[in-house]
Amino acid sequence: MLLALGVSLGFSAVWAIVDLAGKLSSGKALAAQSTTLNPSEASGRPALDLVFQLVRIFFGIVPALLALHLLNRGDREDPVGVHAWRPGFDAGWGVALAAGIGIPGLALYIGSRAIGINTTVIPEALPAAWWMVPVLLLSAAQNAFLEEIVVVGYLVRRLREMGWILPAVVTASALLRGSYHLYQGFGGFAGNAIMGIIFALFFARFQRVGPLVVAHFLLDSVAFVGYALLAGHLGALGL
């Protein structure tokens, strides 16, 4: 389990902690700094940039596939509720979870920036090429698949098999989710940790990550594509 996390979101958590330490020690207020989530990888060369983006997205899902492989070795047909697609259940709960988390999450982000504990998050900085929106949607899908498979499906199931009680499992999953968002600041940590509690409890109840993948995809898609299309109008909203 530690090895699987070490090559995926456990590594991301350590990186985020170091990154936050760098931001805090830079001599510049945290609220005056920015964090870009989907940067250009080859400025001025859109074709090469597209290749870089697709490579990043493809290899970004590999740790999730590894986690599924490790779980499936126990001959369980669908150990985390992602193989057998249940469109009504997954889509319905996914939309509900996204709506319930999205608006309070946006308020928390605005509030944390206002009190100076979070950076300004720039959801995308891609060139205005034909592939911008498709790549942002693929990036949202990759984030959703990776995080929900590893941090919820894989981690929660493994810890429960090791005999951890549910409150400890939920706390571990939520803290991991929050910690690899620390590069955004303390608001990013708090918001994602709360989301982690909700998602881990949902999985413990229904044994399906399908709705969580849908919800995460919707949240990231709205943030990424919405910013790309409306960036010039967001200043009045404090974003």
- Asked if residues 109 and 121 have their Cβ atoms less than 8 Å apart, the reply is yes
* pLDDT of amino acid 237: 45
* pLDDT of amino acid 233: 60
Given a cut of 70, the residues of the chain with pLDDT beneath it are 74-77, 84, 232-239
Enter the DSSP assignment of 182.
G
Element (H, E) at 166: helix 166-179
* pLDDT of amino acid 76: 65
* pLDDT of amino acid 41: 95
Task: Kindly report the pTM of this predicted structure.
Answer: 0.93
- Asked if residues 181 and 174 have their Cβ atoms less than 8 Å apart, the reply is no
* pLDDT of amino acid 236: 43
Q: How far, in Å, CA of 19 to CA of 14, rounded?
A: 9
Element (H, E) at 80: none
